Chains A and B, each alone.
Chain A
């Protein structure tokens, strides 16, 4: 089991550019979550999907953020246009029933 795979691990981009973060959940997991972690705000839930359907996107900061899950094995989180305050570590996590989440290693985004 390769775990939850996120790419890229690090992303540095200029303000105003589009950023796309990618996530491959564990095979067989039917729920997928996107979190953002900063020193000031800790881990915040942005959006989650159940069976590829977005269930709750109330944590998405603003319209510049969008997420998709076109199939059970892939999800993207897009920021367009990016701003310096979007700099954070973005985590993807998946689970199947039960309670335990499996997190990816995260994407460290820096917007300059």
Chain B
């Protein structure tokens, strides 16, 4: 069984602070995705990283894929209340791009 551990599990910060979420596994993935899920909705894809060492930026969000393609990080600069939600990493394997989801990081950003 492929396990993806995320840390921290919960994070409560104030608007304007920076934060980093980590996603770690002992397995190698062909690519890794990050999703954000809001209450009552399904996860929404934020980014896919494919190459070891790859860095992608999405406005204030920076995603990095580890060199060995076993881990990833999500850094948010100057967090805003709209960033509140459940952040999920997901490792991609197989020809059907089967996803294995991480344990999740619940982020709350307050004014």
Which residues of A does B touch, CB under 8 Å? 4, 31, 33, 35, 42-45, 48, 50, 55-56, 91, 93, 95, 98-106
Contact = CB atoms under 8 A, between A and B. Distances in A.
Contacts of B31: 99
Contact of B42 (A42, A91, A95): A91
The 9 A-B residue pairs with the shortest CB-CB distance, nearest first, are A103-B42, A43-B101, A99-B48, A100-B45, A91-B42, A103-B43, A50-B96, A105-B41, A104-B42
Interface of B: 31, 33, 40-45, 48, 50, 88, 92, 96-104
A62 to B, nearest CB: 18
SS class of chain A's interface: helix, strand, loop or mixed?
A: strand
B103 A100 contact: no
Given A99-B48, A100-B33, A100-B48, A31 B42 contact: no
Nearest to A31: B96
11 contacts: A4-B42, A31-B96, A42-B104, A45-B100, A48-B96, A48-B98, A91-B42, A100-B33, A101-B33, A101-B45, A102-B45
Given A99-B31, A100-B33, A43 B43 contact: yes
Given A43-B43, A103-B44, A105-B41, A95 B88 contact: no
Given A42-B101, A100-B33, 19 more contacts: A31-B96, A42-B102, A42-B103, A43-B43, A43-B88, A43-B104, A45-B98, A45-B99, A48-B96, A48-B98, A55-B96, A56-B98, A99-B92, A99-B97, A101-B43, A104-B42, A105-B40, A105-B42, A106-B40
Contacts of B48: 99-100
Nearest to B46: A100
Contacts of A4: 42
Given A43-B43, A93-B42, A105-B42, A99 B33 contact: yes
